[in-house]
């Protein structure tokens, strides 16, 4: 699968890699880098790598299943614009694990935005892995010809 994982591991660049999807399920018309991760000890979930997102953003129902305590978080003064809608919520630190197809998994303490649940609708957005507070805490490389995401400390 991963042509460079042995060399990347030997030089200390990456300890693992995974094949990524090039679209989010249900959004086939828009190319993305979609990774398999775990939040705390959740089942694996799919999330879009978003280098423009300030934090990770996940479905609030998914976070409640992972027993995330919103009371421990920080509530910013401003809301976060998610695809044209302003959401308020809390910021919390949670372990995010990148699941290796080859090599070793890696976990980072990520800053996660937990949106307040709106009473009038269900969560309609994909899950996002943000650059600041998550991806910025690891080393990564992408091989688009093979759809491989390499990662390390």
CATH number at residue 127: 2.40.70.10
pLDDT reported for residue 83: 78
Q: Give the chain's domain count.
A: 1
pLDDT reported for residue 65: 52
pTM: 0.85
Cα separation, 92 vs 94, in Å, equals 6
Q: Which of the pair, 10 or 46, is modelled with greater confidence?
A: 46
Domain that includes residue 32, residue range: 5-152
């Amino acid at each position: 699968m991963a042509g460079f994982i042995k060399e990347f591991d030997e030089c200390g660049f990456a300890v693992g890699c995974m094949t990524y999807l090039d679209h989010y399920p249900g959004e086939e018309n828009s190319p993305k880098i979609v990774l398999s991760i775990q939040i705390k000890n959740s089942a694996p979930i799919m999330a879009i790598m978003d280098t423009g997102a300030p934090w990770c953003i996940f479905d609030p129902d998914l976070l409640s299943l992972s027993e995330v305590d919103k009371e421990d978080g920080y509530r910013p003064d401003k809301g976060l614009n998610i695809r044209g809608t302003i959401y308020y919520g809390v910021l919390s630190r949670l372990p995010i694990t990148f699941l290796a197809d080859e090599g070793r998994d890696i976990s980072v303490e990520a800053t996660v935005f937990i949106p307040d649940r709106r009473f009038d609708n269900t969560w309609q957005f994909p899950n996002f892995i943000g650059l600041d507070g998550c991806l910025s805490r690891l080393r990564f490389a992408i091989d688009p010809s093979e759809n491989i995401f390499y990662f390390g400390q």
